[in-house]
Structure 1
Amino acid sequence: MANTLELTVRKASAWSRPPRTLVEAFKAFPVANIGDAMERLGMVDAGISAIWDGAAAVGTALPVLGAAGDNAAVIEALDHNQPGDMVVINGFGHRERALVGEQLSQRFAAAGAVGAVIDGCIRDKKTITEIRFPVFARGTTPAGPFKNGPGVIGEPVAVGGIVVAPGDIVAADGDGVIVIPQARAEEILTRVIAVAEHEAEMTAEVSKAYS
C-alpha cells in the first residue's frame, strides 16, 4: 500500500510581540521615511501594493505560509490573531487563485487585525474597499482558493523578497510595505524621528525660499 502524506497546518508556539506603544509610534511616519531610517532596506518588492487608495496600516506580523493557491493555513490563522496583528501571507506570488476575499477580510477585521500583506492575490475588492480593511497584494482574481493545506503559522516567511518573523513590525501605505525587525524597532524609531525632523527642516527651507 502506498504511503499517504497527510497535509496539515503546523502552528508555532507562542511568540513575543513588541509593546503596543512602540508599534503605534510608527503610525506617525510614512513608509518612505521608515525606509530611509533603515538604510533603504527591508522593503518588499513593488509588485505588492495597496488594493484601495488610501490604505495604510502598522501592526505586528502574524506570518502564514501555504501552498500556492491554497488558504487552509490562512483560515486557521484566525485562531492565532491578536488585536494589532498584521496578517502576512507567503502565497508564492501565485496569481491564479485568491487567498483572501470578503469573508476572511471581515473576519480578520472583526478579530482586530489591522490589515494584510499578501504575496499573492485577493478577490472581492469592492467589499474589501467598502469595509476599509487595508490589504496589500499582487492583484485580484475572481478564482477562489483550494483549502487542502499544508501550511505553517507563526514561523518566519518570505514576502516580496523580505523575511518576516513573527512579532516584527510591518508598516504599509500607498508607497509600499516595509518590515521592521522587532529587535531593532526602538533603534529604528529613533532614526526615523531624526529623518522626519530633517525632512521638515528642508521643507521649511524650500517654503521660505519661494515665499
Structure 2
Amino acid sequence: MIITASTDSLQLTPEWNRPDPRLIQELGSFPTALIGDAQARIGLMHSAIRSVTPGLKMAGTVLPIHTREGDNLAIHRALDDAQRGDVLVINANSETNRACFGGILGELCIARGIAGVVIDGATRDVDELLALDLPTFARGISPAGPFKYGPGAIGTPVACGNVVCNPGDAIMGDGDGIVVVPQHLITTAIENTRKQQATEEGIRARIPVLT
C-alpha cells in the first residue's frame, strides 16, 4: 500500500481462480441488457448503481471487497493483490454521504491494470476518474472523504446492488448498468447471448422501412 495504516482488522482470502480473459473479452462485447436477457434477466444490479464516468464501458472479473461505510482501507489493501483485468466490486453498505473511492485510488487502479470499479456506496473526484478512463459505477457521489480504519474483507463474496458477487465471476458494465455472470456459467452465457442477439436481429429485420 502507498498509505501507512495497520491492516490487522482486514480479512484476507487466498488466491482464487480467474476465467480465461478471452472469454471475458467476448462476453464483454455484448450490451449488458442483452446479456441479462439471455440469462433470464437475473444477475442485473439495482438501477441505483450507475455509471459516473459516462461513455466508459467495462468488462472484467470480480475482485470482491467488503468495507465499512466511508472507509477505504480494504480497497487500498486489495490493490496489492489485484491482477490485470480485475474489477473492484465494493460493498460499502450502500452509504452515499461519504465517499470510499476517489482520484488517488483511481490512479492506483490504472497502474494495476484494473478494468473498472463498482461501488455499492459513494465515490468522489468523478472528473478525475473520467479523465483517467477508469469505468466507475456507484450508488452515489459525495465530496466527503473516507477514513482508513477498517474493518473489511477482501476476496469473500459480497452483495453489491442486490447481486451476490463471488471472486472470479464475470462482470460487465455500460450505460444501462451492471450484469454479473457466475464464473462457471460464462461459456453458457456467451452461447445464450449469441442466440438472443440473433433473435433480436430477426425481429429488427421484420420492422417495415418507410419509403
**Does TM, normalized by the shorter one, top 0.5?**
yes
CA contact (8 A) 2:99 2:146 kept: yes
Cα deviation digits, residues 18-46 of structure 1 (max 9, x gap): 01111110122000000001100111100
Counterpart secondary structure, 2:133: coil
SS in 1 for 2:95: strand
Is 1:7–1:148's contact at 8 Å kept on the other side of the alignment?
Answer: no
Contact 1:44/1:176 (CA < 8 Å) preserved in 2?
Answer: yes
TM superposition score normalised by structure 2: 0.94
Alignment of 1:140-179 (within 5 A): 140-179=141-180
Is 1:186 the counterpart of 2:187 in the alignment? yes
Aligned position for 1:66: 67
Q: Distance in 1 between matches of 2:142 and 2:69?
A: 14
Given that 1:124 and 1:142 are in contact with CA atoms closer than 8 Å, whether structure 2 keeps it comes out as: yes
- Name 2:27's counterpart in structure 1: 26
Contact 1:77 1:153 (C-alpha < 8 Å) held by counterparts: yes
Map of 2:45 onto structure 1? 44
Task: Tell me how large the CA RMSD over aligned residues is.
Answer: 1.2
Quote how far apart the aligned CAs of 1:152 are.
0.4
Deviations 1:62-97 (A, max 9, x none): 000011111110010111110011110000101121
| Aligned-residue offset at 1:53 | 1.5
Aligned equivalent of 2:210: 210
d(CA) in 1 for partners of 2:176, 2:129 = 19
Whether the 8 Å contact between 1:109 and 1:115 is mirrored in structure 2 is no
How far apart in 1 are the matches of 2:78 and 2:87? 11
Tell me the SS of whatever aligns to 1:92.
Answer: coil
2:114 aligned with 1:109: no
Instruction: Please state how far the C-alpha of 1:209 moved relative to its aligned partner.
Output: 4.0
Deviations, residues 125-174 of structure 1 (Å, cap 9, x unaligned): 11111112100001211111110001100010000111000000001110
**Quick one: percent identity of the two aligned structures?**
38
Paired residue total: 205
Conserved 8 A contact 2:53-2:134: no
Q: Aligned partner of 2:150: which letter? A: G
Q: What CA distance in whole angstroms lies between the structure 2 residues aligned with 1:97 and 1:197?
A: 44
- Please tell me the residue identity of whatever aligns with 1:44: M
Runs of 4+ in 1 over 4 A off after TM superposition: none
Partner Cα distance (2:199, 2:62) in 1: 29
The answer for the alignment partner of 2:98 in structure 1 is 97
Question: Residue 113 of structure 1 aligns to a residue in which SS?
Answer: coil
1:107 Cα deviation after fit: 0.7
- Which structure carries more strand by proportion? 1
What CA distance in whole angstroms lies between the structure 2 residues aligned with 1:27 and 1:161?
21
Structure 1 stretches lacking a partner, 5+ long: 1-5
Q: TM-score, normalised by structure 1?
A: 0.94
Give the conservation status (yes or no) of the 8 Å contact 1:44–1:160: yes
User: 1:128 is matched with which residue?
Assistant: 129
Map of 2:4 onto structure 1: none
Q: Secondary structure at the match of 1:97?
A: coil
Q: Distance in 2 between matches of 1:210 and 1:29?
A: 29
Once residues 24 and 126 of structure 1 are traced to their aligned partners in structure 2, the CA distance between those partners, rounded to angstroms, is: 26
